[in-house]
Amino acid sequence: MCRERRNNKLILRQAQDDNFLCDMSKQVQQIIVQDLGHRSYQEVWNLQKKMQTKRIKGDIEDTLLIVEHEPVYTLGKNADENHLLQSRDESVGVFQIERGGDITFHGPGQLVGYPILDLSNYKKSISWYMRTLEQLTIDVLDEFGITANRIEGLTGVWVGDEKIAAQGVRISRWVTMHGFALNVNPDLSFYDGIIPCGIFDHGVTSMEQLLGETQNSDNVKNMVIEKFNKYFIKGEC
């Protein structure tokens, strides 16, 4: 895999073998990865909407945003507000947003990925896109010795009957926004304030909880980027 950094943006390219040298002039397609660090939900939500509009117009290339948020609950467009419990921490912000799905939590220790992709470059299929996001997350977890799976009829990634990664997207003219959230080292007590994803009979877990120690978030982040590169880079140098 070849990488080039421009203005703090990491451009990833898929190589056919380990000895491959990228020829910039022959690149068919490239995905830009922006590591936003720790940002507020509102700021990144606004950024996503602007970038989706620009991608629809063809003003920017396919981009993956990587971020950790301050604690926040988000409700999808079809969410049941009763899944936001009265016992929750009232200091945690609540956002009603345009993605699919019910209610979830974002916060420090959770790695969130927001792909801004034109699916015309890959496959015009929402189900294909969702299953691909799930598979790359399963692959990431496998690299850390965690065997994860899907549960038929449910979205996201699970270890046993506990969810470790949530997904919710919005797609306009086949351009995506919102995305996936992987629990690396979050404070799981925040989930006590909601019915996560509106599912009553399943719990939540994290890499830290399963492996018994705090995980290096940079290592997980790099593996997410590597697997994303595997599934979403098209063309060759």
Task: Enumerate the domain spans of the chain.
Answer: 2-70+107-185+198-232
Q: Judge whether 224 and 140 are in contact, CB under 8 Å.
A: yes
CATH topology of domain 2-70+107-185+198-232: BirA Bifunctional Protein; domain 2 (3.30.930)
**For residue 17, is pLDDT > 50?**
no
> d(Cα 84, Cα 75) in Å, to the nearest integer?
9
Active site residues: 197
Q: Judge whether 179 and 76 are in contact, CB under 8 Å.
A: no
Q: What is the pLDDT of residues 154-176, one digit of tens each?
A: 999 999 999 999 999 999 999 99
Q: What is the pLDDT of residues 98-132, one digit of tens each?
A: 888 888 899 999 999 999 999 999 999 999 999 99
Over its C-alpha atoms, the chain yields an Rg (Å, rounded) of 17
Quote the pTM value. Answer: 0.84
